[in-house]
Each structure stands twice: as C-alpha cells, then as structure tokens.
Amino acid sequence: MSDVDGFDLTRRTVLKTAGAAAVGASFAGCLAGGDDQPAVDPDAETETAYGNCWMCHHACGQELTVRDGTAVDINGVDEHPRGSAGPGTEGTLCPKGQAELEKLYDPDRITQPYIREDGELREADWDEAFEYTARRLEEFADEHGPEQLLDATSWSTTNVHEYFWGNLYGTPESIGRGRHVCFGGPHLSGNLMGLGANMRFVDYQHSDYIIAWGRNIFESFAGQWEPKGVLEALENGATLVVVDPQHTPTAQKADHWLPIEPRTDGALALAMGHVIIEEELYDEAFVEEQTHGFDAYQEAVADKTPEWAEDITGIDAELIREIATDFAEAAPAAGIALWTGVGQYAEAQKASQNVFALNGLVGNIDRPGGFRMWQGPPLQMNPFEERGIDLPNNAEGRQPALQLSPEYEDYPFRHTTGIGHTVVPEMVDNGHIMGMVNHYDNPLTDGSTQAWLEAIETMDLVITIDAYWNELTRNADVVFPEAIQLEKDTLINYAPTWSAYHDRRWISASKAVHEPLGDCKSGYEIYKGLAEELGWGEYFPWESEAEYNEDMLANIDYTFEEVAEQNFVLLEEFEYEQWEENGFPTATGQFQFDLDEEGGYAESADELGIDTAPEWIPPGTWGDEPDDEYPLHFYDTRSVFFSFGADQPLEHLHEQYARKHGLEGEDYRGNYLVMNPRDAEPRGIETGDMVTVETAAGEGDEPAMAYVSERTQPGFVTAEFGFGTGNSHEEGMNTMWVHDTQHDPVSSQVDRHLAAEIRPAGGD
Amino acid sequence: MSEQWMFYFDPNRCIGCHACSVACKQRHDRDADADDWRTVSHLSRGEYPDFEEVPISMSCMHCHDAPCEQVCPPDAIIKRDEDGIVTVDRDRCIGCHYCAWACPFGAPTYDDEGLMSKCNLCLGEGPGGGHGQPERQTPEDGGPTPACVDDCVGEAIKAGPQSEVMAEATEKAAERFEQGAYGKRVIVEPLEEDADLADAIREGDEPAGAITYEG
C-alpha cells in the first residue's frame, strides 16, 4: 500500500511525519486540559443553536449542539453564504471557527472589568468601571479635547461604536483595518480605480481562469466559500494560477505556480498588459465605453515586454505570454484574487494598481466568473435615525491632526488617508494624540511594536475592550471584557457582501447560545452603560443589542428573531454589469486606469514624483532592499489557524499549528521561522533550532523555532504574526518588534516586508 | 456481517487545514494536546522551485482484516460483525501497545491512563465510546455524521457502508480499490498532479518559470 501517486504513504512515512512525536507525547503524562467545558449529562436532550463566526470576522454560520445547557459541539451551517459553496452544499467551519467552542469556556479569558488605581489594575464591578471611565473621558476632553483620542475600534460586530466615539464623544481620529494595517495599497487603488474595497473576491464558481495573486486562498480566506468555490471551479475544469514566492497549499492545487521574486508583482502585471494589448486580446468595447486613462496605460506598458519582466520577476517570458494570453482569452470569466500578498509592502499601492488595470483591460468587471461587484443588504446603518433620535455630530469641524499640522508635511499619505498606523507614536510624541480606545484589535501586532509600546505608556488614557490579557490590556487604564460572539445576539452588519451566492444579497444573525462567561457584557451594553454615565442616556433607548439590531433591519422584510431563527436569509437578486446603469464610483464615473482626476491621490503622487497612471516602481524605492548585512526578505504570514493575531491563545489552534509542522514533540508553542535549506545550512540552522531575526531596527524580542523547508524561496523567510511580546500568546517572537515605521507612502499601509538576517539563538 | 463501513479520502480536495483533527477533538471532548485520532500529514518532495507537497488525512481505517485485533492479547479490540467498526473495550485493554505495532496507519494512541484510544467512527463519544454500541446508522437513518466528515472544508473525507462510499468515488478510485490499493482498507482518489511540475520532474527539466539561485 505504498504507492500513493509517487508519495510514499506507508506506515513508516506517516509515522515519521506525524505519528512518532504523538506517541512520544503520550508518555509525557498528565497535562492540564485545554477544554474546560462543564461536565454534561450525556443522555440529556440536545438542542440546536446558531452563531456567526467571529474568529476572523468573516461570519461563516455556526451550528451549535447544546446539551444540558452546555455547547458540546460546533459545526457549519449548510448553504450558508460564507461557510458553504452555496445552494445545495454543506457548510463547515475551519479550525479557527471550531475553536470558538474552546473560547466559550476558556478560563484564561478576561471576565470582569478592571480599572487602574494607584498605578495598578484592579478588579471592578460594572458600575465602578462605567463611572471611572466616564470621569476619565470627561477629564480627557477638558484637558486635551476629544480630537486627541484615537478611535481604534475598527473591528467590531456592531456599529454602535462609531456613533459613540464619532458623533457623541467627537473624535475625528480613527484607525481603519483595511486602509491602514491590512491591505492599504490595494484598498486605495481598488477604491480609486472603481472596484471598491471588496476587490479581493472573484465570482469563483463561474470562473474559467483564476489567478490567486499573492493570495493563499486555501489557507487564508475570507469565509470558507472561497476555498470551496475554487475547488468547485477546479472540478469544473477551471485553471488556477498562483503567483507567490512560497509553495502554499493553494500552489499545491495550481495548474501554474509562478514563484515570483518578492515585490515584483507590478512588473509581471505590466508585462501581461503589454502582451494583451500587443495580441489585441483586450476588450475594446469596454475600454472605449467604460474606462478612463487608457492612453496613459498603453504608454505605461508599451516597453514592458515579457523579456523585460523576466529579468525582474524571475518568471520565464514565454510563461508570462502564456498566462497573459490564456487569462485574456478566458475573460470575462477570468478573475484575479489579490489581497495582503500584494498589500503589505511599501510599493504595494502602485503594484496593485498595475494588477487591477488588467481587469479594466480584459473587461471582466462584474461579469460572470470575473470580478464581481457584490451588493450588501439594504441595512439601515443608522438605527438612531430610525428611532428619530437627533444625534449630534460632535466630530464635525474637528480635523485630524495629520492634515492640520506642519509636522506631517513629509507624509504624502496625508492627502489620501486621515492617519497612518506607523505615524501614531510620532503623533503621541508631538502631543496630538493622548488617548486611545481599542476594541479587539491589538495595534501591537500591526507594526512598530516598540514605538507603540512607548506611545501607550505616554498616553493619558487607554481604554480597551478585549478578551485576553496582553501588553495592551495590561497597560490600559480601563479593561472592559466583552462577551464573545456566541454569548450575545449578533447581526452581521460589517461587509456582508461577497459570498457563495454571486447574485443574491443576504443577511446573517444569531441569538446568544450561552450566558456570557463571568461578568462579560455585549458591546452594545458596554456603550449604553458608559453613555448613561456620561449623561447621554437619551441616545440609547434600546434595551438590548437585539433591539438595536432590530432597527438595523428596518429596510428588510425580516425581524431579527426571524433571521436568527434560521441563521441566514437570502434577499433580493442583483444582476451583472451594474456599471451599465450606475457607472463606477470614481471621479470620472468610469473605471480609472489613470488616477489623475483623483485630487488627493494626485497631490500625493506629485509630492512623491510618481505617475498617476500605472507605473513600475522597483522594490527598494521606499521599502527595505536586502543587502550584505541583511540579506534575507523577511515577511510575516497567515496560517489557517490564526487571524488578526487574536486566536493564538487557543490551545487547539497552536497545537495543530505545531502538528502541521511536525513539531508537536517540541516543548514550544510559538511561531515558526520558515526558511529554505539553502539559507539554513550555511547558518548552521536545522528544523527545531531556535533562531533570532535581526533587521536594521535591531534584534527580535524573542527567538522563534526554525522550520526548514523547500516550500519557501531561498532568500525569503517568513513567520506567523500575533505571537511574542505584546500579544496574548507571548511564546515565540513578535514579527513587528523589528519593524520601524516602514510604510507605503501613498496609502500609509504598514510595510510588513523587511530586510533581515537570521541567526541561531544559541543555547537551548 | 452486514456491510463494512469505510473511509474515503480525496487528496485533491484536501486543503490541509486540520479542521478534521480539531472537529474530532471537539466531538469526543478531548484535550487539545491529546493525541489526534485523525491526523493530517504533509508529505513533500523536491527542491524549490521543483517542489510538491500533499496533505494526507488519516485515522483508524476500521480495516476488514483488522491487524490490531489479531494481535491484541486480552481481546480488547473488537472487529464488529454488524458494521465492521473496530472498537476498544477499555476494561480489557492492558496498554501493551501491540496494536500500535500491528496497525498499518499508526492509528492507536495511548492516553494518560495508558489505555489504547482511537477513532470509533463517531459510533459513540470519547475514548472507548464505541464499545458495546448498537449498529452504526447512516445519517439518513438518524446516525451522526462522523465529525471529520461533517467538518471537512473541502469535502475530502467521506465515510459510510462500503457500497455507498464506492458509489461516490470516481471510477478510477473504485477500480484501484478493487485491484487492492491500500490493502482495500480505504478508498483514496488518485492525485491530480500539478501538470507543469510533474512533467518537468518526469522529464528532468526545469519547469517554466524556474529561478536559479546561488548558494
């Protein structure tokens, strides 16, 4: 039984790769359990309840088995828009989603409020915590003004936060996830070109040709409809192309894997455009009628031959021709999925602009199998208006300091974005930001960790809503423990657009499965309590989060109970080619190859001396380029087990992460530094050794364990983010410890690519 | 015996995410650091960029010939007549590890009590949960879907009576099974290899797009 298509699948091999260490572990004796589910009567009747997964915030439906009042099992919801492949298909949960069951009963969670007294955090009850926080907020407003409080609540499941901090408290400073710390370059390019912020998602099931451009869809996805959709497309005969310096699980399934030189995506895209125009394979009618700036684009690609790109990208010129030709011939049923892989380096804005230009060129926009312009449900996003509440706008007239103060004139992104993650510590130094409110979004994982740690120390007031202790919660003045998704009534109101249903709007909701652990409260209840203490009680008439959600559904023919009862409902259909009627949401109303008409962008470009049209910006123009001292490209990555640096404390996840690397026998549960043997051997590094990373900013906070593998390109090393100093799971290294304000100067996106050297950590 | 239950695995649809391992732990209320009854291995070969990797999800296959049962000194392992599921009577198990040596898949693991525990095809819950249970019902007849099948993101794992699983397999997989592949213990879909790389590796060429690195 040893022949599995050339892979040796004998007992010996499998034991070697997975089982052997597990046998070893069995002798380790009794270890403290990770599951703290209460004991339940196995004969008790079971009930079914629903949730919407919040682990990566992409809302796959969760079906809970509840026995004797305890949730004992968790599964997917069939036909769910995010967790299934669509009509007639089963819903599942990825490991993160399943681990929400562990989180529900996790004794390590923060389960009651804490306030700072005489320099120390102490337990408090809710009345005390609300009173203390309200007083501190009032003092802060008197001393600094609300404009000096940073709203860092970008990832919440209710939108009540933005009304509280923006309208009532009146701060104009807010950090957003998409624009500032996740995929700022593509976010900016996508929006300005006319594709919107959802430019990552292909109409997979109808596609004949999918390019996963720096995307690892089978491991890092925005809901499981993505890998499921791609698998369906492949079964239907679609071609999958993966552009990635790493051989990822997505590359494993690809027809073509293009192991590109890091950060040369823009060159590959321009060369593809060159071929498509040269071969006259572009969509002339679409280009003529629906686009702006084609002349400038044509000029930009005129000399960008595949041979030119071969030298830069390391991809064979003939293969570039083949990919470009096949992509254009498959169009419009050809889609490009692009996200953080082309989003997290300093030249990312222009690189993504070059890639997105291909959509306009082949006319795959909002056509079956290409790029889809998804429609969200017609939610009433302002429940205050629905209740007839005259909500003030106290942020009005208060300008973000970045756009006002001369200190920031060296930052071209001040024209395109209100603030940048990497500039916050400097703004704290300058006295422009003196406080912060945070919600389930730890800035210490997102860039410049050392500077941010100092900034938190300097701030007069730090309020945080979180589930686990970390360097931010420990340094806060107030810690509010929020109920997790399964403990509250939830309406998924953030971006419920893209899904396995290419032509349907949808909405998903769920009732609390369980009482909150300890003294946790829902986000709405926290804001209501705080508002009452601040004298704003009149603005919060809703008794509960469910009641608030009810008003969000004012435009939809379902009540909250009705949606929650079945977990999701499909709403009206929408058609392809919506641009025919609506045009594009851009300055010219057309798809824009050239961003010359976008005022803020044009100002940024002018200051930087770059073109508004697509252009080749070589790596090293703004970001770090490896040199003799720091010869390696160091990137942080995402695995299927973790998202947003928030899931690392969950034992099921870090355990399986270790097992995936065959390192479960090691007494280490941090992240792994992945490197090629050709880099590891000269440095005397083997799998299982502890190594340190060093960049121009200094040495890493802690060593990580090396994982030496041919899956990564020589010269290209990676580690998973969300571990180490500042994080909830401190074992391992913080990949952002060695980051020193590098960013994309156009979009302000944190540059998560660094030139580095890796050394054996020495010792044990 | 009525019909033998079997597992089916399609490496082409497995995305290597370990959801099956976590699902198994959840269903059987087992600690995160307990041994996996369903393991995911990542087998690889080749040098960058001529590199290939394939994820393999495995568990106890409830073999028709159950080598573990044959070597068990206290007869604690039972190959059930009614559905072919291999269960463990933990009252009889002496923790001698003979079954681990006999098993072609490395499936038996040993818990804190030193007793053997492994997949029971979700016949029951928890270690030993399969012992003495009535005949396994299909989901259509009210039985539970095995957790690993239920939660497989790529629908790469299936389980059921042999005829049902065979009916869902491709012709090629069924044919290979009949010819004795994998000891007729599990049905595995043939791997659709990455065409470019596979051709290149077979022909000894560098695949298109290959990069030459120094050192």
A295/A423 Cα distance (integer angstroms): 36
Q: What is the DSSP string of A414-460?
A: GGT-S--GGGHHHHHHTTS--EEEEES--GGGSS-HHHHHHHHHH-S
**Touching B: A residues 30-59, CB under 8 Å:** 30-31, 33-35, 37, 42
Rounded percentage of chain A residues whose pLDDT exceeds 70: 95
Cβ–Cβ gap B154/A660 under 8 Å: no
> Do both B32 and B88 map to the same domain?
yes
Give the mutation candidate from B26, B59, B60 for the A interface (greatest A CB count, under 10 A).
B26
Tokens at residue A478, please? 């107030």
In three-state secondary structure terms, A586 is coil
B31/B28 Cα distance (integer angstroms): 9
A376/A311 Cα distance (integer angstroms): 43
Strand ranges (DSSP E) for A329-429?
334-338
Cβ–Cβ gap B48/A75 under 8 Å: no
Total residues found in chain B within this entry: 215
Q: Report in angstroms the alpha-carbon separations of A428 from A317, A401, B161.
A: 49, 11, 66
Q: At residue A309, what is the residue type?
A: A
A261 touches chain B (CB under 8 A): yes
> Do both B122 and B42 map to the same domain?
yes
B199 part of a folded domain: yes
What mean pLDDT comes out for the span A362-380? 96
A348-362 helix and A317-330 helix, angle to the nearest 10 degrees: 50
Q: Which of A191, A230, A222 is nearest to A585 (CA)?
A: A191
A605/A594 Cα distance (integer angstroms): 12
What mean pLDDT comes out for the span A56-66? 95
Give the number of other CB atoms < 10 A from CB of residue B211: 18
Tokens at residue A413, please? 């992104």
pLDDT for position A441 = 83
Q: At residue B13, what is the residue type?
A: R
The C-alpha of B10 sits at a distance from chain A's nearest C-alpha, in angstroms, of: 11
B198 part of a folded domain: yes
Nearest beta carbon to residue A18 from set B39, B48, B208? B39
The C-alpha of A314 sits at a distance from chain B's nearest C-alpha, in angstroms, of: 6
Read off the pLDDT of residues A313-367 as tens digits, 9 standing for 90 and up.
999 999 999 999 999 999 999 999 999 999 999 999 999 999 999 999 999 999 9
pLDDT for position A763 = 58
Read off the pLDDT of residues B56-108 as tens digits, 9 standing for 90 and up.
999 999 999 999 999 999 999 999 999 999 999 999 999 999 999 999 988 99
Ramachandran bin of A609, using left for φ above 0, alpha for ψ from -120 to 50, beta for the remaining angles: left
Read off the pLDDT of residues A461-490 as tens digits, 9 standing for 90 and up.
999 999 999 999 999 999 999 999 999 999
Read off the pLDDT of residues B103-119 as tens digits, 9 standing for 90 and up.
998 899 998 889 999 99
Read off the pLDDT of residues A110-164 as tens digits, 9 standing for 90 and up.
999 999 999 999 999 999 999 999 999 999 999 999 999 999 987 777 899 999 9
What mean pLDDT comes out for the span A697-702? 97
Rounded percentage of chain A residues whose pLDDT exceeds 90: 89
Nearest beta carbon to residue A25 from set B35, B39, B46? B35
Q: At residue A598, what is the residue type?
A: E
Residue B207 domain boundaries: 185-214
Q: Which of A396, A439, A256, A252 is nearest to A330 (CA)?
A: A256
A675/B78 Cα distance (integer angstroms): 46
Question: How wide is the angle at C-alpha A406 spanned by C-alphas A402 and A407, nearest 5°?
Answer: 75
Q: What is the ipTM of this complex?
A: 0.92
The gap from C-alpha B103 to its chain's centroid, in whole angstroms, comes to: 12
Residues of chain A with C-beta less than 8 angstroms from the C-beta of B148: none
Residue B54: closest CA among chain A residues belongs to which residue? A252
- The whole-chain average pLDDT of chain B stands at 88
In three-state secondary structure terms, A179 is helix
Cβ–Cβ gap B194/A18 under 8 Å: no
For the four alpha carbons of A27, A30, A36 and A39, in that order, the dihedral sign comes to positive
Q: What is the DSSP string of A486-509?
A: GGS-EE--S----SS-TTEEEEEE
A383/A556 Cα distance (integer angstroms): 13
- Residue B205 scores a pLDDT above 60: no
Residues of chain A with C-beta less than 8 angstroms from the C-beta of B45: 6-7
Residue with tokens 């003529």: A288
Residues of chain A with C-beta less than 8 angstroms from the C-beta of B152: 92
> Do both B24 and B111 map to the same domain?
yes
Nearest beta carbon to residue A678 from set B105, B185, B213? B213
The H-or-E segment that residue A285 falls in is helix A284-290
Nearest beta carbon to residue A224 from set B22, B47, B153? B153
Tokens at residue A510, please? 């769920």
A281/A328 Cα distance (integer angstroms): 6
Report residue A496's pLDDT band, with 50, 70 and 90 as the boundaries: confident
Q: Please state whether the peptide bond connecting residue A516 to the residue before it is cis, i.e. omega within 30 degrees of 0.
A: no
Report residue B2's pLDDT band, with 50, 70 and 90 as the boundaries: confident
Phi, psi of A397 (to 5 degrees): 85, -10
A631 touches chain B (CB under 8 A): no
B177 part of a folded domain: no
B20 touches chain A (CB under 8 A): no
Rounded percentage of chain B residues whose pLDDT exceeds 90: 83
Inter-chain contacts counted by CB atoms under 8 A, chains A and B: 231
Phi, psi of B71 (to 5 degrees): -100, -5
**Touching A: B residues 48-87, CB under 8 Å:** 48-49, 51-56, 58
A363/A285 Cα distance (integer angstroms): 9
pLDDT for position A5 = 54
Residue with tokens 């603030």: A419
> Do both B103 and B71 map to the same domain?
yes
Residues of chain A with C-beta less than 8 angstroms from the C-beta of B183: 1
Tokens at residue A718, please? 């990676």
Residue with tokens 């912020």: A197
What mean pLDDT comes out for the span A526-552? 96
All residues at 6 or more sequence positions from A124 whose CB lies less than 8 Å from its CB, including other chains? A112, A113, A114, A115, A132
> Do both B48 and B9 map to the same domain?
yes
B55 part of a folded domain: yes
B191 part of a folded domain: yes
The C-alpha of A745 sits at a distance from chain B's nearest C-alpha, in angstroms, of: 31
- The whole-chain average pLDDT of chain A stands at 93
> Do both B136 and B204 map to the same domain?
no
- Residue B194 scores a pLDDT above 90: no
Q: How many CA atoms lie within 13 A of A633 on its CB side?
A: 23
> Do both B168 and B199 map to the same domain?
no
| Structural domains of chain A, with CATH | 114-180+378-573 (3.40.50.740), 199-372+580-608 (3.40.228.10), 632-760 (2.40.40.20)
> Do both B32 and B130 map to the same domain?
yes
Ramachandran bin of A59, using left for φ above 0, alpha for ψ from -120 to 50, beta for the remaining angles: left
> Do both B63 and B165 map to the same domain?
yes
The C-alpha of A218 sits at a distance from chain B's nearest C-alpha, in angstroms, of: 6
B168/B156 Cα distance (integer angstroms): 12
Residue with tokens 């690609």: A301
pLDDT for position A3 = 43
A322/A652 Cα distance (integer angstroms): 43
Torsion of CA A712, A715, A719, A724, to 10 degrees: 160
How many domains, chain B? 2
A253 touches chain B (CB under 8 A): yes
> Do both B126 and B197 map to the same domain?
no
Phi, psi of A383 (to 5 degrees): -65, -20
More confident: A617 or A763: A617
pLDDT for position A29 = 26
Strand ranges (DSSP E) for A54-196?
61-67, 70-76, 114-117, 120-123, 149-152, 173-174
Cβ–Cβ gap B16/A90 under 8 Å: no
Burial environment of residue A667 by CB neighbours within 10 A (0 to 12, 13 to 18, 19 or more): exposed
Residue B149: closest CA among chain A residues belongs to which residue? A92
Residues of chain B with C-beta less than 8 angstroms from the C-beta of A4: 11, 56, 182, 188, 191
Residues of chain B with C-beta less than 8 angstroms from the C-beta of A652: 22, 25-26, 32
The C-alpha of B103 sits at a distance from chain A's nearest C-alpha, in angstroms, of: 8
Tokens at residue B19, please? 């959801």
For the four alpha carbons of A21, A26, A29 and A30, in that order, the dihedral sign comes to positive
CATH of the domain at B92: 3.30.70.20
- Residue A44 scores a pLDDT above 90: no
> Do both B208 and B161 map to the same domain?
no
Is residue A719 within 8 Å of residue A707, measured between CB atoms? no
Total residues found in chain A within this entry: 764
A384/A381 Cα distance (integer angstroms): 9
For the four alpha carbons of A410, A415, A418 and A421, in that order, the dihedral sign comes to negative
Residue A100: closest CA among chain B residues belongs to which residue? B26
**How many helices and strands (H and E) does chain A possess?**
27, 28
Query: Percent helix, strand and coil across chain A, each rounded to 5?
Result: 35, 20, 50
Cβ–Cβ gap B48/A253 under 8 Å: no
Q: Which of A539, A475, A533, A541 is nearest to A137 (CA)?
A: A533
pLDDT for position A28 = 26
Give the number of other CB atoms < 10 A from CB of residue A359: 26
Residues of chain A with C-beta less than 8 angstroms from the C-beta of B154: 227-228, 231
Report residue B1's pLDDT band, with 50, 70 and 90 as the boundaries: low
- Which of these ranges, A307-311, A334-338, B16-20, B195-199, has the smallest mean pLDDT? B195-199
pLDDT for position A331 = 98
Strand ranges (DSSP E) for A237-376?
239-243, 256-258, 291-292, 334-338
B94 part of a folded domain: yes
Residue A658: closest CA among chain B residues belongs to which residue? B33
Residue B109: closest CA among chain A residues belongs to which residue? A23
pLDDT for position A138 = 98
Give the number of other CB atoms < 10 A from CB of residue B113: 12
Residues of chain A with C-beta less than 8 angstroms from the C-beta of B12: 253
Q: Which of A424, A288, A262 is nearest to A344 (CA)?
A: A262
The H-or-E segment that residue B98 falls in is helix B98-102
Residues of chain A with C-beta less than 8 angstroms from the C-beta of B29: 35, 37, 72
> Do both B116 and B209 map to the same domain?
no
B32 part of a folded domain: yes
Read off the pLDDT of residues A250-270 as tens digits, 9 standing for 90 and up.
999 999 999 999 999 999 999
B178 part of a folded domain: no
Residue with tokens 């020589």: A714
Burial environment of residue A535 by CB neighbours within 10 A (0 to 12, 13 to 18, 19 or more): exposed
Q: What is the DSSP string of B177-188?
A: HHTTGGGGSSEE
A659 touches chain B (CB under 8 A): yes
A190/A184 Cα distance (integer angstroms): 10
What does the longest C-alpha to C-alpha distance in chain B come to?
63
3-state secondary structure labels for all residues of A691-711: EEEEECCEECCCCEEEEECCC
